[in-house]
């Protein structure tokens, strides 16, 4: 069934990126929550001259990102607005946007989590790609460059002495997964102070579904994974490993995935060993029901379901609980059901992306 559904999607066309959030206006937080004030805009490297081509600038961007994040104190040493050291004992949240997102993409979630501007930062893809547009940079950045720049940015923030908690949406979740996989292999060494990570509806599938997700830059209803590859082999090709298995364990980072199974192809339907997974379905139809009901609205429904994790109170409460005590997310993890593929064992939970969710 997953192959039939993906084949039908590939045969469809949709203008633009169906998983992109509208940049303006930012979604309003639900009633009863504190309106989120966007954190101070991060310092970014100067864009290249107009005549210069927009080429990857990962080394330069990463160095500037680290410098901008690490040196945020006055000459007297007193904290200033945006200083990663903060005045509270809670971890500093680092949001990593997805393909085509603006920094306002997390405004609703920050409000649900009751985060003030001093409590979070937003990663900027312009540290990866030399362009003046954050949206264009987020679309053009590959996963390798994004992981390099994110590593430097996180290292700079860690210099402030405050624990860090990473939250990545869509392609941002894939970037975090790539960085943590490298940390697990000790190249580069893990950044001290990163205690946990939440991957929200991340396109980190393997096999055929993962191959399709890598086509997201040109096919609207499909998310862009930036070229993320979960399975790595040695130079002989005789020994391979799935980096999603026990992701973050060797690096000392507690990782969880929160995904909407009703979004279908925007996340993944596997259950890697040692990866904590929670399902947070929204109230809309699942992928099969959406296609059967009105195939022409399927791209819109896919985007709606994909973005639902950013405005879900359960997601916000789960992350807040993890920040207070790792491993304490309250969302139930149901027993495996139809639709699971990949490794079993003690790592996962919840329903697969193509489980019976209609």
Q: Which residues contact 169 (CB under 8 A, 6 or more apart)?
A: 95, 96, 97, 98, 101, 105, 106, 200, 201, 202, 309, 310
37 found inside a domain: yes
Q: What is the model's pLDDT at position 207?
A: 83
346 found inside a domain: no
351 found inside a domain: no
Whole domain around residue 40: which residue ranges? 2-324
123 found inside a domain: yes
340 found inside a domain: no
* Span 49-89, pLDDT tens digits: 333 333 344 444 444 444 344 333 322 233 322 333 333 47
For the cut 70, the answer to whether the pLDDT of residue 259 exceeds it is yes
Contact 204, 173 (CB under 8 A): yes
* Span 215-252, pLDDT tens digits: 766 665 567 888 898 898 877 767 899 999 999 999 99
pLDDT-based confidence at 354, cuts 50/70/90?
very low
* Span 115-148, pLDDT tens digits: 999 999 999 999 999 888 988 899 889 999 999 9
For the cut 80, the answer to whether the pLDDT of residue 317 exceeds it is yes
* Span 205-216, pLDDT tens digits: 888 888 888 776
Q: 303: domain CATH number?
A: 3.40.50.1820
94 found inside a domain: yes
* Span 152-190, pLDDT tens digits: 999 999 988 899 999 999 999 999 999 999 999 988 999
Global model pTM greater than 0.95: no
């Amino acid at each position: 069934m997953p192959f039939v559904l993906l084949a039908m999607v590939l045969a469809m066309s949709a203008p633009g990126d169906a998983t992109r959030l509208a940049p303006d206006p930012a979604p309003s937080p639900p009633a009863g929550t504190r309106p989120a004030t966007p954190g101070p805009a991060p310092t970014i490297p100067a864009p290249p001259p107009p005549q210069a081509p927009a080429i990857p600038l990962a080394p330069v961007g990463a160095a500037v990102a680290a410098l901008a994040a690490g040196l945020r104190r006055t000459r007297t040493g007193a904290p200033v607005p945006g200083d990663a050291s903060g005045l509270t004992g809670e971890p500093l949240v680092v949001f990593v946007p997805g393909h085509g997102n603006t920094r306002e993409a997390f405004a609703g979630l920050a409000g649900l989590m009751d985060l003030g501007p001093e409590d979070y930062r937003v990663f900027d893809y312009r540290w990866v790609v030399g362009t003046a547009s954050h949206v264009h940079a987020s679309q053009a950045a590959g996963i390798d460059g994004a992981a390099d720049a994110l590593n430097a940015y996180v290292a700079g923030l860690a210099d402030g002495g405050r624990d860090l908690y990473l939250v990545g949406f869509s392609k941002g979740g894939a970037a975090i997964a790539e960085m943590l996989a490298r940390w697990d292999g000790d190249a580069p060494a893990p950044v001290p102070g990163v205690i946990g990570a939440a991957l929200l509806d991340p396109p980190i599938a393997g096999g055929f579904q993962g191959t399709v997700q890598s086509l997201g830059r040109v096919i609207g209803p499909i998310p862009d994974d930036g070229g993320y590859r979960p399975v790595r082999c040695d130079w002989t090709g005789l020994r391979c490993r799935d980096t999603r298995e026990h992701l973050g364990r060797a690096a000392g980072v507690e990782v969880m995935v929160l995904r909407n199974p009703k979004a279908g192809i925007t996340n993944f339907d596997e259950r890697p060993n040692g990866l904590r997974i929670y399902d947070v379905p929204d109230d809309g139809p699942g992928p099969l029901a959406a296609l059967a009901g009105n195939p022409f609205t399927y791209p819109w429904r896919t985007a709606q379901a994909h973005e639902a994790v950013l405005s879900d109170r359960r997601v916000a409460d789960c992350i807040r609980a993890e920040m207070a005590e790792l491993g304490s997310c309250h969302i139930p993890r149901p027993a495996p059901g139809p639709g699971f593929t990949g490794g079993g064992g003690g790592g996962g939970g919840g329903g697969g992306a193509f489980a019976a969710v209609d």
